[in-house]
Amino acid sequence: IGFTSYRPGESGVKTWQGTVGGTSSRCYNLQFRKSLSISTVWDGFDLGADIGNETDRPGDFPLAEYPVHQLPTNHLIDDLVSIGSLGVGIGMDGKGGYVSNILMQDCAGSGGLWYTYGKTFTNVSVIDTNTLNFNANQLYIQGDCIVNGLRLVGIKPTPSNGLIVDAPNTTISGITGNVD
């Protein structure tokens, strides 16, 4: 476990999102550990399972049981670093699992774009993201998650088209940093 992805043509790491040959090919219970993604053309780490407005998941959990972005992916994510991505630093969705010791820095878009539910995050660092001032938040968490330890450094809220942290359903504790 552990690798460096330098200047890939798309995402540094991308889990499959969708179907292949009429059958769902989503990923569950994966481990992402001790890895670095630098200068990606799009996202540093794209760990999503649902790409968007799904209508069906043939051979997999039905939408009636697990709505879009709420599949029980249950990934274990630890020690990931995304630096200089031209899209999102670390994107993910799904329900359950643990995320710890992650850093998103100098990303053109959001540092973290997380359509996640019931996940626990520990030691999250966001440093100078949304550098191109997109209509994006520095950190977005859609669902009912827990964040223990959030470090924000060098974030410049003005001028900005997005929020520093947009996580209305999430409990966050231990916020530190240097926000301009």
Q: What is the mean pLDDT of residues 11-32?
A: 89
- Among 1-10, 31-40, 119-128, which is the least confidently predicted range? 1-10
Instruction: Please state the pTM of the whole predicted model.
Output: 0.94
Percent of the chain whose pLDDT exceeds 90: 73
Q: What is the mean pLDDT of residues 150-157?
A: 79
Convert the pLDDT of each residue in 46-69 to its tens digit: 999 987 777 889 999 999 999 999
Residue 35, Cβ density class (10 Å: 0-12 exposed, 13-18 middle, ≥19 buried): buried
Q: How confident is the model at residue 180 (pLDDT cuts 50, 70, 90)?
A: low
Provide the 3-class DSSP secondary structure of residue 5: strand
- Length of the chain in terms of residues written: 180
Which has the closest alpha carbon to 112: 85, 77, 139?
A: 139
Q: What is the mean pLDDT of residues 117-146?
A: 94
Q: How confident is the model at residue 1 (pLDDT cuts 50, 70, 90)?
A: low
Q: Which residues are catalytic?
A: 10, 43, 46
What is the C-alpha to C-alpha distance for residues 15 and 108, in angstroms, rounded to an integer?
21
What is the C-alpha to C-alpha distance for residues 129 and 139, in angstroms, rounded to an integer?
9
Convert the pLDDT of each residue in 90-116 to its tens digit: 999 999 999 999 999 999 999 999 999
At residue 179, does pLDDT exceed 70? no
